Amino acid sequence: MIKRNLATWFKKMSKIKKFIPDYCNNEREVESKLIVSYLLPALGYTIDTWYQEKKENRFRLDFLACPTNKENKSISKVVIESKHPCKQLNDHLPQLKNYMLELDIQYGLLTNGREIRIYSKLNSKEIILVFRSFTLNIEQKIPEISRWIGRETLLSQHLKPMRMEQKHMKTIAVYHNKGGVGKTTTVVNLAAAFAKKEQRVLIIDLDSQANSTFATGLLNFGDEEKDDIKDKYIYHLLKHQDAFPIKEVARPARYTGYKIDVIPAHIHLMEHENELNQLDFSRGILREKLEQVQDNYDVVLIDTPPSLNLYARIALITAGYLLIPSDLKPFANEGLVNVKKFVENINGFKKMINISPLNIIGVLPTKVSANAKFAQGTLSNRIAAVKQRYELDVLEQCVIHELDDLAKCVEQTVTVGDLELTDPRSIFDYKPHSKSAKEFDELANVIYDKIG
């Protein structure tokens, strides 16, 4: 009866230009004006592909949307729950979670007419938020909502197998949630090692400390007045979907004679995390923009913050591979638990959006003492402990030792007039025949063999 009365509304959908949240004053109006007359048609669902007050087992669902009108348990469905505009959505999340987990429904939409949230079932015990937006100007968000729960999206997921990426460009995140383990040193010197082997290399700095930006010669702390990084860096790339492409933001590195491009960071990046967190596309935009230049680079190395924040999440979502530098000391080893959990969470998200999981290349021993007795005793014990306790591969043949040459190469300076400016160098430009240079050369060879 309800559907017959509403049939004429669907004929008028082509004339609907804008949804006005203020027109929804109670739960019934949220259902009729937002869900029935606006969202469902906009997402491609016809009258015969959704059900209102649908009884499923012991539950009665407000709405259940299916890609087809034929029962097929292998096709993802969407449960939609509407609430009064004055209700807080957090209070009703446990109810939606019960519906999704007990009925094995992949997606859930929760709305009070003012805000829309979309959740996805991560596993048999968890659901995660994948989209959130206010309904004011919601028409601008319909394409993004459709990519999650649109009828054609869910139908194509059923008809097409998961697309595995087979690209020449390899993207590697260098990450540990413990600081001071040599992430930046690894990134800049590994980049130089790859470039030395005639690989086209891009470095992306996603850490607000901007250590890689400094180490590649793009920041001069002795000449702040000439700082032009703040006008175009990783923040601008993440904030704008249709502006600031990689070609525009990337700069040539100045720390090496080999050709390397760098997308810089800036200390101001820390001020923008909350802002970017509100943008639903921010987690995937870097990956999308890299796809536009996949023919321009062979290797992309991402320097990450020592945390579990948004920027670390973006890095791991973007990357296909993960390298974990660690000094293998007890404190750093304890952090490997968090790293593994973080990777599991990221891979759950990647599975939902049909991209390949993050592959762990291994734990790279860094800042290791060059003392012979240490190498024969303590180091071997620490490597064995990581393998046994954390079940992670260790790149034993690629130990990066804590040597003076490696520290000094980034500390080089140059005098210009009365100013002494920083002039960092890669280990291959500072001392190309040093032990450290040989270690990074071997590291590049091992990684190249592992990831092709």
Name the nearest CA neighbour of 328 among 360, 388, 368, 372.
368
Residue 232 token pair: 């175009």
Residue 278 CA, distance from chain mean position? 14
CATH class of 170-451: alpha beta
Distance CA 254, CA 426 (A): 10
**What's the length of the chain?**
452
Distance CA 442, CA 427 (A): 13
Largest separation between any pair of C-alpha atoms in the chain: 85
Question: Residues 131, 145: contact at Cβ < 8 Å?
Answer: yes
Q: Torsions phi, psi of 3, nearest 5?
A: -70, -35
**Residue listed under structure tokens 């959908």:** 13
**Contacts (Cβ under 8 Å, ≥6 apart) of 115:** 89, 132, 133, 134, 135
Q: How far is the CA of 182 from the CAs of 90, 102, 175, 186, 200, in angstroms?
A: 40, 45, 10, 6, 23
> Residue 226: its pLDDT value, please?
66
Residue 24 token pair: 């929804």
Q: How far is the CA of 301 from the CAs of 88, 141, 212, 292, 325, in angstroms?
A: 42, 32, 11, 17, 13
H or E stretch covering 361? strand 359-365
Residue-wise pLDDT tens digits, 129-154 = 888 888 988 888 898 899 899 998 88
Query: Could you read off the pLDDT tens digit of each residue along the chain, which spans 452 residues?
Result: 444 444 444 444 444 457 888 889 999 999 999 999 999 999 999 999 999 999 988 899 999 999 887 666 668 899 999 999 999 999 999 999 999 999 999 999 999 999 999 998 877 788 888 888 889 888 888 988 998 999 988 887 655 443 334 448 999 999 998 888 999 999 999 999 999 988 999 999 999 999 999 999 997 655 556 677 888 999 999 999 888 999 999 999 999 989 999 999 998 899 998 899 888 788 899 999 999 999 999 999 999 999 989 999 999 999 999 999 998 888 777 889 999 999 999 999 888 888 889 999 999 999 998 887 777 778 888 898 888 888 899 998 899 999 999 999 988 877 767 767 778 999 999 999 999 999 999 999 999 888 86
Distance CA 355, CA 164 (A): 6
Fold (CATH) for 2-159: tt1808, chain A (3.90.1570)
Q: Where exactly does CATH 3.40.50.300 map onto the chain?
A: 170-451
Count of beta carbons in the 10 Å neighbourhood of residue 403: 18
Name the nearest CA neighbour of 294 among 165, 451, 169.
169
Q: How far is the CA of 373 from the CAs of 29, 248, 364, 380, in angstroms?
A: 75, 50, 20, 10
Name the nearest CA neighbour of 313 among 301, 302, 324, 327.
302
Angle ∠(396,400,402) on CA atoms, nearest 5 = 135
**Contacts (Cβ under 8 Å, ≥6 apart) of 27:** 82, 83, 84
Question: Residues 80, 43: contact at Cβ < 8 Å?
Answer: no
- Given the DSSP bridges, would you call strands 59-65 and 78-82 parallel, antiparallel or unpaired? antiparallel
Question: Residues 237, 244: contact at Cβ < 8 Å?
Answer: yes
Put residue 224 in one of left, alpha, beta given phi > 0 → left and psi -120 to 50 → alpha.
alpha
Q: Where exactly does CATH 3.90.1570 map onto the chain?
A: 2-159
Distance CA 381, CA 386 (A): 9
Q: Using the Cα atoms of residue 186, residue 192, residue 195 and residue 197 in order, give the sign of their dihedral.
A: negative
DSSP per-residue string spanning 424-445: ---HHHH-TTSHHHHHHHHHHH
